[in-house]
Chains A and B, each alone.
Chain A
């Protein structure tokens, strides 16, 4: 909502909208934004399987960029990301999103579903902080500090040339 109010061409999707090859309505929307609405800077973020879909979408956009047009993926964000090869995928998403200019990764390491360190990213284990020490996979995406940090980082990185 805040991003909309600031004039961003923002869209929200269920992670299943992104196939494990990155194809789907979210990909089509980004391509449409670049080709039809003059968008040149892209940000992608997601929690849990949405983090895995963030990787898959960035990967497809990067692979097809020659046919899409001119754009940069300024920033991507994982929040306790899980790979999304299927609805039953439990693997932590630890791959850096291809061609992302800046990757923020907030995760917690406990339980059977958790993210982890992504090489090359700005990583934070939230359980090492006072505000996030009790967060788990189910609650991390609803935490106000996490939400604000993601929003602020996206706005900061999208203002970069």
Chain B
């Protein structure tokens, strides 16, 4: 017998499937829309917070032009510093390409760092100088201009004509090919205006003069040729028995220290080992060395490795280096050595040596800190003795070391002669630095214990 309704089953099935797919698709669209909205809201929050921060920065800067009392100023600069930190945090979350906002970001960072420097100065009772007042006025004008630009972007955002997630889509993949478009251009104009901002020189980490610093350790050295660079590299590496080495210059680098990049290949080569060295074109010093060799199980002890590292430096002409710290990672020990001058340890003149604990071979060297700051210094005479400095320490502090003279960085480019004390409070170890000239407490550091890092001083 013929079934009259046998088409019903496939039809019902088909309808069910279509409905299912539609329902599923609808769900997808909705969840995508929800995700996009959530993302958009997050971006908008960051942006509107940023607008607020910049407005506050402008107001605080204008107040700082009027205020005269140091105690008030100190408060003001603290607030300014906080606003700037918050502003740059929010800026970092806005989906525009990093280059587009680099200058704006730098402005915010500099305002923050400058405010911090002034906060510290005024808290110490020293009011701001005329020079500093002028800088603050320049910063205030710049903040005003930034504010106007932000207003324009904000108007677009509030009017809904610009969705930040659109921006993000543009910047994510497409931008690299097509260049900035859309509302990016608003940010670009904003950033371009920041370009007119004069370079800011002050005593802080983002000061413009720091980027232009020359390595004093290399000063006066003559320029070397590529051939000489190869020889320097071959003379520097930690040669292993029964292996010969060939070197070639892979290129010239124009970084902070102009270099020849030299590649050294061991013959016979194993595990694709290659040693790469940066040899300064001026004075021909090895600034850094990196080895790609893989490291096997540890066969030598950490102190043995340290002796090897010290000998390595000694043989290469680094005299009077003192070990300060080491850490171990994956059977490689990294030892820090600081230079000394007349028994004073010079923390800024730092060189790091990494040793493979399977064979004791020196794998890497990082002498950037050393070459960027090492020079014969005119150290001040201490005005107080170690014993006098010791009496300035907290009575709650236990197991204190006798104290020794150490030169530490005070700001990005000033240094202070101090007495260094190590001691403990309960289970925590601290390093305390007392200014050897003024007797003031210069620095308190907490030593955070990790499994693989150890202070050796």
A and B pair up: no
Q: Could you tell me which B residues sit within 8 Å of A by CB distance?
A: none
Q: Could you tell me which A residues sit within 8 Å of B by CB distance?
A: none
